[in-house]
């Protein structure tokens, strides 16, 4: 099939970018979206032009590196997939596809479609862990039984891949779903209780410092999340934060 691509090109963080039009022929339905871009880049390189830079790594939907706002939606029109798992059979011959970087003040563009998501790392560094000594002096793993339902729910929250689609989809560029997923994972497990108060306060403080927007409960993040992280996690974080604040 033949596609008309409108791709955001930007030299670096300080140079303004713009949409550039490309026409790409010979795209097959079996290709992944990123493989389609590979072909475009191969063409550009052979013409001596600089290829379109985009983030990608595992190409199996788990590392969270690939991003892209495709026709106005993070990771494109398909649900529960990352861009690397989006296949071209979701598009038709003659389609126009607008490809932009994830946009948020906290995700500055590095080049073309690549954004800096280190804000997410800093949120995790503020408290997304349990303070145990990692040199192995711990109690036996089965000492504390954990209710299967809680463990499964913690696992569901923990499957977040940190891709940033929630921020990209949110009209407020809010990072609540991302932050709450980690808060939830630990809130649901007994191991996480000891530091619960500090954790939620520190992580929320960092999230605010990074310049993400506020949550207005539109639910867009949940819909676009490639891992289906639920909005209940945000409610849980709200609850945790409220009780942390009341406790002082």
Q: Which of residues 136-175 bind other proteins (CB under 8 A)?
A: 136, 138-142, 145-148, 151-152, 154-155, 158-159, 161-162, 169, 171-174
- Member of 23, 93, 131, 248 binding other proteins (CB under 8 A): 131
β-bridge partners, 70: 73, 99
C-alpha distance across the termini of the chain, in Å: 60
> Helix, strand or coil for residue 109?
strand
Told to check if 118 binds other proteins by CB under 8 A, we report: yes
- For residues 46 and 108, give the distance between their C-alpha atoms in angstroms, rounded to a whole number: 30
Least distance in Å: CB of 92 to other proteins? 15
- Give the separation between CA 25 and CA 40, rounded to whole angstroms: 9
Query: From the list 33, 120, 177, 178, which residue makes contact with other proteins (rule: CB under 8 A)?
Result: 120
Q: How many CB atoms lie within 10 A of CB 147?
A: 11
Which one among 71, 95, 196, 197 touches other proteins, defined by CB under 8 A? Answer: 71
Q: Are 160 and 181 in contact (CB under 8 A)?
A: yes
* Cα distance between residue 174 and residue 168, in whole Å: 8
Which 83-102 positions form the footprint of other proteins (CB under 8 A)?
A: 85, 87, 89, 98, 100
Give the largest Cα separation in the chain, rounded. Answer: 64
x/- binding map, residues 195-234, to other proteins, per CB under 8 A?
---------xx-xx--xxxxxxxxxx--xx------xx-x
Q: Which residue matches tokens 């963080």?
A: 13
Query: Is 2 among the residues that bind other proteins (CB under 8 A)?
Result: no
The residue written with tokens 């939907």 in the block is: 61
**Residue 15 in the binding site for other proteins (CB under 8 A):** no
In the complex, minimum distance from the CB of residue 22 to other proteins, in angstroms, rounded to a whole number: 15
From candidates 40, 178, 226, 240, binder to other proteins by CB under 8 A:
240
| Cα 64 from Cα 120, distance rounded (Å) | 12
Dist CA 222 CA 66 (whole Å): 18
Is residue 20 at the binding interface for other proteins, with CB under 8 A as the rule? no
Site for other proteins in 30-69 (CB under 8 A): 30-32, 34-35, 38-39, 42, 44-46, 48-51, 53, 55-65, 69
- State in angstroms the smallest separation of the CB of 97 from other proteins: 10
């Amino acid at each position: 099939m033949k596609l008309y691509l409108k791709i955001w090109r930007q030299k670096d963080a300080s140079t303004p970018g713009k949409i550039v039009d490309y026409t790409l022929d010979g795209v097959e339905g079996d290709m992944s979206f990123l493989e389609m871009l590979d072909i475009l880049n191969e063409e550009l390189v052979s013409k001596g032009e600089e290829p379109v830079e985009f983030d990608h790594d595992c190409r199996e939907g788990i590392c969270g590196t690939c991003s892209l706002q495709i026709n106005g939606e993070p990771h494109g029109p398909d649900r529960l997939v990352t861009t690397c798992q989006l296949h071209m059979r979701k598009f038709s011959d003659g389609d126009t596809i607008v490809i932009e970087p994830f946009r948020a003040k906290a995700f500055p563009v590095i080049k073309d479609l690549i954004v800096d998501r280190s804000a997410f790392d800093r949120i995790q560094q503020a408290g997304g862990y349990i303070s145990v000594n990692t040199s192995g002096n711990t109690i036996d793993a089965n000492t504390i039984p954990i209710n299967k339902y809680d463990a499964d729910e913690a696992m569901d929250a923990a499957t977040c891949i940190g891709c940033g689609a929630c921020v990209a989809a949110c009209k407020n560029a809010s990072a609540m779903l991302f932050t709450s997923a980690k808060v939830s994972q630990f809130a649901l497990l007994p191991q996480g209780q000891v530091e619960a108060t500090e954790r939620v306060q520190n992580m929320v403080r960092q999230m605010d410092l990074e310049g993400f927007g506020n949550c207005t409960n539109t639910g867009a993040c949940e819909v676009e999340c490639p891992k289906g992280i639920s909005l209940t996690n945000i409610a849980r974080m709200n609850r945790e934060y409220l009780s942390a604040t009341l406790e002082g």
